[in-house]
């Protein structure tokens, strides 16, 4: 959402570029960290801000980019002074980094080209970072992450877009949710839930196979639901699952 405080900060400073960053947590793996880069051919002491996507780092080197060492995480929310942007465009001096990713689409391997918005920070001399609350950043890159945001685990203020943890949850930790392939595509995910379950007391959820959820379902503790190939599991309306492991076939009907 738009926060006038950050716009005013831009207005009353000499900065022409502000990038919102948040404190990084251990589950932040797909995204970028901020680095300082030395100017090529210039003063060795002159440095500029840059963005390094973890996908650019070889797997055997990624341990060096831990949350303890690189504390701030790119949110890709950018504030740019329009006259500075106009000047960059007119002089062809706005540069976006290009990142290559190898991704799998069905049975096909694809090379994907990306240009994260925040890589533009390298083009601005008066760029600054602004640390924002974690609720201003949501990394929705999977149906598991979408499931958490859609659930009653959070309260969403429709006016400010502020997201806060439900007060009824006793812990500050976020449940670990893992979905199998049958839930990965959005169209498959939405048809498997009549209603998103109550998860304020959930610690860990794993769901795999042909599984469907009814309305008013409550999940607590650790719940693992696995439907084997050729089998189907229907979690009925109003079911309460607490520290359960369910496998095979299950279909409970109202009488």
Q: Which residues are catalytic?
A: 141
Question: Using CA atoms, how far apart are residues 211 and 180, in angstroms rounded to an integer?
Answer: 10
Distances from the Cα of 140 to the Cα of 25, 158, 186, 194, 198, angstroms: 15, 18, 12, 21, 20
Q: Which residues contact 121 (CB under 8 A, 6 or more apart)?
A: 17, 19, 49, 50, 51, 78, 127
Phi, psi of 228 (to 5 degrees): -70, 170
Strand partners, 128: 18
Q: Give the residue carrying structure tokens 């706005």.
A: 94
The torsion of the CA quartet 238, 244, 250, 255, rounded to 10 degrees, works out to -30
Q: 154-156 and 163-165: which strand pairing?
A: antiparallel
Question: Using CA atoms, how far apart are residues 154 and 202, in angstroms rounded to an integer?
Answer: 13
Separation of CA 62 from chain center: 19
């Amino acid at each position: 959402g738009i926060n006038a405080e950050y716009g005013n900060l831009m207005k009353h400073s000499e900065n022409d570029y502000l990038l919102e960053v948040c404190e990084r947590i251990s589950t932040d793996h797909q995204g970028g960290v901020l680095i300082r880069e030395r100017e090529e051919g210039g003063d060795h002491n002159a440095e500029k801000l840059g963005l390094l996507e973890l996908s650019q780092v070889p797997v055997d080197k990624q341990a060096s980019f831990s949350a303890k060492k690189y504390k701030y995480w790119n949110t890709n929310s950018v504030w740019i002074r329009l006259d500075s942007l106009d000047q960059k465009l007119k002089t062809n001096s706005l540069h976006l980094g290009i990142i290559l990713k190898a991704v799998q689409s069905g049975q096909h391997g694809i090379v994907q080209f990306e240009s994260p918005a925040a890589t533009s920070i390298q083009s601005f001399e008066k760029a600054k970072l602004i640390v924002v609350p974690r609720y201003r950043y949501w990394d929705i890159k999977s149906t598991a992450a979408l499931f958490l945001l859609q659930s009653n685990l959070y309260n969403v203020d429709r006016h400010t877009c502020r997201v806060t943890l439900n007060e009824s949850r006793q812990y500050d930790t976020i449940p670990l949710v893992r979905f199998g392939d049958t839930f990965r595509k959005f169209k498959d995910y939405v048809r498997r839930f009549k209603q998103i379950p109550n998860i304020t007391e959930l610690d860990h959820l794993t769901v795999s196979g042909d599984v469907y959820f009814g309305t008013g379902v409550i999940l607590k503790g650790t719940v693992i639901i696995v439907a084997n190939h050729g089998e189907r599991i229907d979690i009925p309306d109003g079911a309460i699952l607490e520290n359960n492991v369910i496998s095979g076939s299950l279909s409970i009907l109202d009488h």
